[in-house]
Amino acid sequence: MKIYTKTGDIGETSLFGGRRVLKSELRIEAYGTVDELNSWIGLLRDVQTESTTKDLLKEVQDRLFTLGSTLAADPDNSKLKTPDLHESDIELLENAIDKMDEELEPLRNFVLPGGHVFVSYCHLARTVCRRAERLCVSLIHGTTKQEKSGASDAMNISIKYLNRLSDYLFTLSRKMAKDLGAEEVNWLPRK
């Protein structure tokens, strides 16, 4: 199988299900951003030394492929079967957040991204995650009623998952800063 097909040379791509769309469509932007996020998570997994966190990040990457398949599916093709996200995927993130929070000082201020390159990777992943979330929100609210009824549950849990994932990545950035002995710089507005 060749890596290039030449079918996208005029700016179109195929949704799962076969329908051709412009590469500039919101749906393509959304799953492209989820793919970008998955790459950042892969980088985080590569620099992470703690095996439990590495395993969770691998699980997150798998869930992002699940989310991407939902986004890449033709919403007009009701016969397509794609994998689903589950509430348990969100609970896994919440449990990890709670466990890390037990070791961290309570958050009293906004935190400036940085302090260590690995911490910065977390913040970059977090901001890409937020962008993916915003794109999914735009997609679900900018679609037809027919499309909403077919994709609503899958899209709603996708948005919830991305929201919780960004919380996880923020908490992971704080935990990494603590573990690395990096300074966590609070944002203090000028007076």
Asked if the structure places residue 129 within a domain, the reply is yes
Question: Tens of pLDDT along 134-188?
Answer: 999 998 887 544 444 344 688 899 999 999 999 999 999 999 999 999 998 888 8
Which residue has better confidence, 178 or 11?
178
Asked if the structure places residue 154 within a domain, the reply is yes
Q: How many domains are contained in the chain? A: 1
- Report pLDDT for 152: 67
Residue 14 has pLDDT above 70, yes or no: yes
Asked if the structure places residue 50 within a domain, the reply is yes
Asked if the structure places residue 3 within a domain, the reply is no
Q: Put residue 10 in one of left, alpha, beta given phi > 0 → left and psi -120 to 50 → alpha.
A: alpha
Helix axes 51-72, 26-47, angle to 10 degrees: 170
Asked if the structure places residue 22 within a domain, the reply is yes
Question: Tens of pLDDT along 20-72?
Answer: 877 778 888 999 999 999 999 999 999 988 899 999 999 999 999 999 988 88
Residue 78's pLDDT band, with cuts at 50, 70 and 90, is confident
Contacts within 8 Å (CB) and 24+ apart, 6-13: none
As a whole number of angstroms, the distance between CA 43 and CA 61 comes to 11
Asked if the structure places residue 38 within a domain, the reply is yes
As a whole number of angstroms, the distance between CA 59 and CA 137 comes to 23
As a whole number of angstroms, the distance between CA 53 and CA 96 comes to 9
In 3D, which of 36, 37, 50 has the Cα closest to residue 126?
A: 37
Beta-ladder partners of 109: none
Asked if the structure places residue 135 within a domain, the reply is yes
Asked if the structure places residue 26 within a domain, the reply is yes
What is the CATH number for 153?
Answer: 1.20.1200.10
Tokens of residue 57, six digits: 């990040």
- Report pLDDT for 143: 55
Which residue has better confidence, 145 or 105?
105
Range(s) of the domain holding residue 127: 12-68+87-103+114-180
C-beta of residue 139 within 8 angstroms of C-beta of residue 150: no
Task: Measure CA 15 to chain center.
Answer: 20
Report if pTM > 0.85.
yes
- Report pLDDT for 73: 82
Residue 8 has pLDDT above 80, yes or no: no
